[in-house]
């Protein structure tokens, strides 16, 4: 009987093992089927996307972006006709990201939202869906809609954390993107925290000579620059630069960008001669590694123009801005954001020369470019309105100046739900304009707000806080 009982147990165990084996075989077949479907989907997607780029074959760099954009726009109706929802969602995600990079944010968002709707309806919890959420977050980031950017990026991050190993590169990418948005919102501690999470993963999964390691330190240096912690900004910049110099055997565009960042740090410290050296080094590298009319060369020229302005060399600054503008016009077939930046630099320089009519013309040209690319509440509009307001203040048209400052403040308060360095600076602009117009009570009110915001953000030793305190003490003299 004992043997009979053992035999029954063994028979039952054999049947159980047979059942498990059948389940595993079925699962293997299912996984094999999924793998085949994904392979077929990838092939179909590759064919669709490669067909687009075959029709965008420019003879030179200058027309590349526009030719790609034209080619994509011609093929957009075909995406709607795709029968397989997975193929449609994948292509919409990829093409949406490409359009976003090329500046067509409205159509980009439309495609990415379509992809998310398809994933939500059919397969909401997948790596592809997580990528779509991340990409739409990036698109909102580029539009200056940081609230929605964080919502979608964090949704994508949570999905990736559920689906992927904890040290997966896609999770590091999500952390990195979220950090970038927090940096733009002025929440520098959160930015550093998320960059730290991203770097922690990168150090675990990448070799030390991988380019993403110095890129991460470059991002951290940028946040410390915004915090006005120049010691740490220079420290992480140098770590980043050393990393890139070990990776690349010679000149490389990443090294050029690193010198540009160093220039920005030195500029914030008031060391303009050091800034000029860095910007000249950056431009020298750009000219070696890029085609003659590449926009990065124009940007390097524009950077030197800006530092000449900071040094008070206004005529020389205008020469550099004109040169940058000339390169951009050979590169872009229509007005581009980079061109708006140059107009902005020219406007600031004309304001310093007290040529306010010319300054306003430049600022209006910059504004016209922004209107083609950005929604009405994008942060670039606030910067444009501030510059226009300052020019009107220089013309003693104080009511016009205050009107534009208010338009800028409305955008800043909508974007930043609390204290932010840009809001403090704008309060100071209000105060200065009221002071010039003889309204000392209002001047005191706004400069005091500027000081209080900066003090809460940075403490009493920050350069801006010190300037606002001096301005506050000065305006108090008029109240006695």
Residue 139's alpha-carbon distances to 33, 173, 224, 269, 457, in angstroms, are 34, 15, 25, 33, 28
Tokens of 87: 């193929």
Residue 145's alpha-carbon distances to 281, 345, 379, in angstroms, are 35, 25, 9
- The terminus-to-terminus CA distance of the chain in angstroms comes to 111
Q: Which of 354, 345, 309, 353 is nearest to 325 (CA)?
A: 345
Q: How open is the CA angle 162-165-168, to the nearest 5 degrees?
A: 110
The pLDDT tens digits along the chain (480 residues) read 555 666 556 666 656 666 655 565 555 554 445 444 544 544 444 444 544 444 444 333 444 555 556 666 666 666 666 777 777 788 788 888 877 777 666 778 888 888 888 888 886 788 888 999 999 999 999 888 899 999 999 999 999 999 999 999 999 999 999 999 999 988 999 999 999 999 999 999 999 899 999 999 999 999 999 988 999 999 999 999 999 999 998 899 999 999 999 999 999 898 999 999 999 999 999 999 999 889 999 999 999 999 999 999 999 999 999 999 999 988 876 778 889 999 999 999 999 999 999 999 999 999 999 998 888 888 899 999 999 999 999 999 999 999 999 999 999 998 887 888 899 999 999 999 999 999 999 999 999 999 999 999 888 988 889 999 999 999 999 887
Q: On the CB side of 68, how many CA atoms lie within 13 Å of its CA?
A: 19
> What φ, ψ does residue 38 adopt, rounded to 5°?
-65, -40
Looking at residue 479, its pLDDT comes to: 86
- The DSSP letter of residue 420 is -
Contact 384, 367 (CB under 8 A): yes
The contacts of residue 366 (CB under 8 Å, 6+ apart) are: 340, 341, 343, 344, 347, 384, 387
The CA dihedral of 210, 211, 214, 219, to the nearest 10 degrees, is -130
Q: Which of 62, 99, 58 is nearest to 297 (CA)?
A: 62
The contacts of residue 100 (CB under 8 Å, 6+ apart) are: 108, 109, 112, 135, 138, 139, 142
The contacts of residue 374 (CB under 8 Å, 6+ apart) are: 105, 143, 144, 380, 381
Q: Which of 273, 213, 266, 222 is nearest to 240 (CA)?
A: 213
Q: Which of 304, 318, 366 is nearest to 340 (CA)?
A: 366
DSSP 208-258: TTSTHHHHHHHHHHHHHHHTT-HHHHHHHHHHHHHHHHHH-SS--HHHHHH
Axis crossing angle, helix 379-394 with helix 398-415, rounded to the nearest 10:
160
Looking at residue 387, its pLDDT comes to: 96
Looking at residue 34, its pLDDT comes to: 45
Q: Which of 423, 324, 419, 427 is nearest to 379 (CA)?
A: 423
Q: On the CB side of 160, how many CA atoms lie within 13 Å of its CA?
A: 22
The neighbour count for residue 252, using CB atoms within 10 Å, is 17
Residue 210's alpha-carbon distances to 33, 131, 165, in angstroms, are 35, 23, 20
Q: Which domains does the chain possess?
A: 206-289 (1.25.40.10), 292-373 (1.25.40.10), 381-480 (1.25.40.10)
Q: Which of 49, 1, 124, 59 is nearest to 291 (CA)?
A: 59
Please tell me the distance from the alpha carbon of residue 473 to that of residue 480, in angstroms, as a whole number.
11
Q: How open is the CA angle 102-112-78, to the nearest 5 degrees?
A: 80
Looking at residue 68, its pLDDT comes to: 59
Looking at residue 5, its pLDDT comes to: 63
Looking at residue 252, its pLDDT comes to: 95
Contact 224, 232 (CB under 8 A): yes
Kindly calculate the radius of gyration of the chain based on its CA atoms and give it in whole angstroms: 28
The neighbour count for residue 321, using CB atoms within 10 Å, is 28
Please tell me the distance from the alpha carbon of residue 370 to that of residue 355, in angstroms, as a whole number.
23
Residue 444's alpha-carbon distances to 313, 386, 412, 426, 472, in angstroms, are 33, 20, 21, 14, 7
């Amino acid at each position: 009987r004992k043997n009979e009982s053992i035999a029954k147990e063994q028979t039952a165990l054999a049947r159980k093992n047979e059942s498990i084996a059948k389940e595993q075989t079925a699962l293997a077949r299912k996984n094999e089927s999924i793998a085949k479907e994904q392979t077929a989907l990838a092939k179909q997607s590759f064919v669709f996307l490669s067909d687009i780029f075959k029709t965008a074959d420019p003879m030179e760099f200058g027309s590349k972006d526009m030719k790609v954009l034209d080619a994509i726009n011609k093929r957009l109706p075909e995406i709607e006709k795709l029968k397989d929802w997975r193929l449609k969602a994948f292509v919409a995600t990829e093409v949406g990201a490409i359009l976003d990079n090329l500046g067509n944010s409205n159509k980009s968002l439309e495609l990415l939202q379509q992809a998310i709707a398809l994933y939500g309806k059919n397969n909401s919890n997948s790596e592809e869906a997580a990528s779509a959420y991340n990409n739409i977050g990036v698109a909102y980031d580029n539009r200056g809609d940081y609230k929605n950017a964080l919502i979608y990026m964090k949704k994508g991050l949570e999905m990736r954390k559920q689906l992927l190993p904890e040290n997966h590169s896609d999770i590091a990418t999500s952390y990195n993107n979220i950090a970038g948005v927090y940096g733009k919102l002025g929440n520098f501690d959160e930015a550093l925290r998320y960059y730290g999470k991203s770097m922690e993963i990168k150090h675990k999964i990448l070799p030390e000579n991988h380019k993403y390691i110095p890129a991460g330190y470059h991002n951290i240096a940028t946040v410390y620059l915004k915090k006005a912690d120049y010691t740490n900004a220079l420290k992480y910049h140098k770590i980043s630069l050393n990393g890139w110099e070990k990776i690349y055997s010679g000149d490389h565009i990443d090294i050029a960008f690193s010198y540009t960042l160093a220039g920005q740090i030195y500029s914030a410290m008031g060391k303009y001669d050091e800034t000029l050296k860095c910007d000249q080094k950056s431009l020298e590298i750009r000219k070696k590694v890029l085609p003659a009319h590449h926009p990065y060369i124009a940007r390097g020229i524009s950077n030197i123009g800006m530092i000449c302005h900071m040094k008070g060399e206004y005529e020389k600054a205008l020469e550099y801005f004109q040169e940058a503008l000339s390169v951009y016009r050979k590169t872009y077939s229509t007005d581009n954001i980079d061109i708006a930046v140059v107009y902005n630099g020219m406007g600031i320089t004309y304001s310093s020369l007290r040529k306010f009519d010319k300054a306003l013309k430049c600022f209006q040209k910059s504004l016209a470019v922004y209107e083609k690319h950005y929604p009405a509440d994008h942060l670039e509009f606030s910067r444009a309105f501030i510059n226009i307001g300052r020019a009107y203040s220089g013309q003693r048209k104080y009511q016009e100046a205050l009107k534009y400052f208010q338009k800028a403040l409305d955008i800043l308060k909508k974007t930043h739900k609390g204290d932010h360095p840009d809001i403090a600076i704008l309060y100071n602009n209000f105060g200065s304009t009221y002071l010039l117009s003889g309204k000392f009570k209002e001047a005191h009110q706004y400069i005091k707000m500027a000081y209080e915001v900066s003090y809460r953000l940075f403490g009493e030793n920050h350069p801006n806080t010190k300037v606002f305190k001096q301005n506050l003490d000065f305006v108090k003299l008029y109240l006695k």
